Amino acid sequence: MIRFDDVSFTYTEAAGPTLHRVTLAIPEGELCVVVGETGSGKSTLLRAINGLVPHFSGGVLAGTVTVDGRTTKENRPRDLADVVGFVGQNPLASFVTETVEDELAYTMENLGVPADAMRRRVEDAIDLLGLQDLRDRSLRALSGGQQQRVAIGAVLTASPRILVLDEPTSALDPAAAEEVLGTLARLVHDLGLTVVMAEHRLERVVPFADRIVLVPGGGAPLVEGSPEVIMRSSSVAPPLVELGRLVGWDPLPLSVRDARRRATSLRERLAPLTPPSPRVAPGAPTAANEMAATRKLVVAYGRVIALDGVDLSFSRGEVLVLMGRNGSGKSTLLSTLSGARQPTRGTVVVDGRDPRSFRPAELIRHVGLVPQDPGLLLYGESVHAECRTSDKVSDLDDGSTAHTLERILPGVPGDRHPRDLSEGQRLALALAIVLAPAPALLLLDEPTRGLDYPSKDRLIEVLRELAGDGHAVALASHDVELAARVGDRAVVLADGQVIADGPARQVVCHSPVFAPQVAKVLAPEEWLTVDEVRRALDGALPA
């Protein structure tokens, strides 16, 4: 179905090839997951399948990519639209119409699908992806996760034989991600659809994969094989596999169910030991340590209530994780705290003031927001230019932003235009621009989209340092593993209201949706991460 024959690709002005002599065959009816470190070339590999590389990206492509008997050299993306559906990392950039239902129908209109068939396919996509309540909504009024589901639905309505997805669950809450992945698995097994996807959150996708393709980057050859084989030796592995490696399970479990069945003796070993106490900020919220607060906050988009009477305090020295399903109000809360959005009713206070009252030069030091779309912060012609501008605007020493970027994600090409970076590299650059001035209140919206596990580790280290220095950190994330590792406190939103607020360890452990993999395997005891289990077994934690 898909063949790469000795394919190499080099971007214009790049020092070396992103893909080097790739030979790969993906048969019909397979769900193939492409993994690798941030910037290794996963997105380039995917975009070569429908000809976006090189017809849209530019650069030099050697070798041959064949899709259903057609080569991408002779067929541009529009010529392959009937056989290949592509969903990129930024769904908003792909939208053409104004409303959900119109977007679902747009591709079919271009392909000349009869009206009665169009109607049926639109309803099928709405049912498959849970879009019933969104069909008349404006696309720009949707949350990032809702936009992701619409983008997938818009591609499915064209009935492609191959579906290519770049980080399809990165903006989805855990329940929605399971639904989407389950839908894709059904399309593969029931209809013989071929699905190729890139993902960093392997804890979600590995149980569904028929095959994994590892892109090492740096021109090294691809490694491919079954999930069991790749997970045995790969440095890119989800917590479940890391736990299996720690205790010597063979074969390694790829699902929570398999791990639970194997973990009886491990739970017995851990039973006499005490999990770490919940991390808490220094003291309960008081007037002295309160960095920001909302009081009876209401924010509405027309008739849609995004936040409904939210009362929250944000303490200095605390990492607060906002969780909840897509559309629950997390992004709206962060943008309102930053001063970018005006409350409909209620008040927002940051360091004793309305955030909209800060002059731009003051705001940089008081509030920093990284939005879901990092491109909104990037205007320069190169990574170097972005870093230099950030240093100047924030009145930092030369090289401060570049140093922060290197800490989060080493090796981002300084001469590359931001739009030519991978999604993870763009996010790391945006994070560096906002983190370098060390604002008193740091707001991060899905800060790990496109980041690999080592990059997450480095980001967690930076965030913990900032909290240790007395900064307040609030991040909205569907990455439950991140919440388990970095959160002091967790707040769960639903329909714009706070439904849970407490120590992160207790909130996530007691939630069947937001619990990390280790907690599910070792329940009812409150173990969250592989590192905690490792230290306990090594005797580092008191019995």
Q: Quick one: 206 and 304 in the same domain?
A: no
Give the pLDDT score at 201: 87
Query: Given this model, what pLDDT does residue 130 score?
Result: 84
Residues 294 and 208 in one domain: no
Indicate the DSSP class of residue 398: T
Please state, in angstroms and rounded to a whole number, the distance separating the CA atoms of residues 32 and 231.
14
Structural domain includes residue 392: yes
Please give the Cα distance from 243 to 270 (Å, whole number): 13
- Residues 187, 304 within the same domain: no
Question: CA-based angle 176:42:186, to the nearest 5?
Answer: 35
Maximum Cα–Cα distance for the chain, whole Å? Answer: 69
Q: Does residue 525 lie within any of the structural domains?
A: no
Residue 283 lies in a domain: no
Share of the chain above pLDDT 70, in %: 97
- The set of residues, in sequence order, having a beta carbon less than 8 Å from that of 97 and lying 6+ positions away, is 103, 106, 139
Contact 42, 9 (CB under 8 A): no
The whole-model pTM stands at 0.87
Whether residue 294 sits in one domain with residue 213: no
Please name which of 281, 248, 267 lies closest in space to residue 470, comparing C-alpha atoms: 281
**Contact yes or no for 408/436 (Cβ under 8 A):** no
Domain match, 128 and 223 both? yes
With respect to residue 277, please indicate whether it lies within any of the assigned structural domains: no
Residue 120 pLDDT grade (very low, low, confident, very high; cuts 50, 70, 90): very high
Mean pLDDT calculated for residue range 223-251: 90
Number of domains present in the structure of the chain? 2
Both 202 and 306 in a single domain? no
Domain-embedded: residue 86? yes
Q: Are strands 211-214 and 31-35 parallel, antiparallel or unpaired?
A: parallel
Specify the 3-state DSSP secondary structure of 494. Answer: strand
Helices (H), 112-208: 115-129, 144-156, 174-191, 202-205
Whole-angstrom distance, CA of residue 516 vs CA of residue 509: 8
| pLDDT attached to residue 286 | 58
In a domain, 199, yes or no: yes
Query: Is 144 found in the same domain as 14?
Result: yes
pLDDT digits (tens, 9 = 90+) for 339-369: 999 999 999 999 999 999 999 888 999 999 9
Together in a domain, 211 and 337: no
Asked if residue 241 is part of any domain, the answer here is no
Q: 305 with 376, same domain?
A: yes
- Helix (H/G/I), strand (E/B), else coil: 381: coil
User: What pLDDT is recorded for position 181?
Assistant: 87
Helix (H, G, I), strand (E, B) or coil at 118: helix
| Mean pLDDT of the residues in the chain | 91
Per-residue confidence band for 542, with pLDDT thresholds at 50, 70 and 90:
very low
Give the angle 341-301-349 at the CA atoms, nearest 5°. 30
Q: What is d(CA 441, CA 363) in angstroms, rounded to the nearest whole number?
A: 10
Does residue 251 have a cis peptide bond before it, meaning omega lies within 30 degrees of 0?
A: yes
> 63 and 195: one domain?
yes
Helices 453-468 + 423-435 axis angle, to 10: 10
Are 313 and 430 within one domain? yes
Round to whole Å and give the CA distance between 80 and 93.
Answer: 20
| Domain final residue pick, 193, 228, 263 | 228
Check whether 236 has a pLDDT greater than 70.
Answer: yes
Q: State the pLDDT at residue 263.
A: 95
Mean pLDDT of 220-232: 89
Section 192-201 average pLDDT = 93
What CATH number does the domain containing 87 carry?
3.40.50.300
Q: Where are the alpha helices (DSSP H) in 36-114?
A: 42-49, 52-55, 100-111
pLDDT one-digit tens code per residue, 463-483: 999 999 999 999 999 999 999
Per-residue model confidence as pLDDT tens digits over 486-498: 999 999 999 999 9
The residue out of 228, 253, 276 marking a domain boundary is 228
Q: What is the pLDDT of residue 183?
A: 84
1-38 per-position pLDDT tens digit: 899 999 999 988 788 899 999 999 999 999 999 998 88
Q: How far is CA 235 from CA 171, 223, 225, 481, in A?
A: 24, 12, 15, 17
Domain that holds residue 493: 290-511
- Is pLDDT at 255 greater than 80 in this prediction? yes
Given strand 472-476, what is the order of strands in its sheet? 367-370, 441-445, 472-476, 319-323, 489-494, 497-503
pLDDT of residue 168: 87
Whether 277 has a pLDDT exceeding 80, the answer reads no
User: What's the angle, vertex CA 453, arms to CA 366 and CA 181, rounded to 5?
Assistant: 105
Can you tell me the mean pLDDT for 241-251?
Answer: 93
- Report whether pLDDT(288) > 70: no
d(CA 44, CA 164): 12
Whether 526 is in a domain gets the answer no
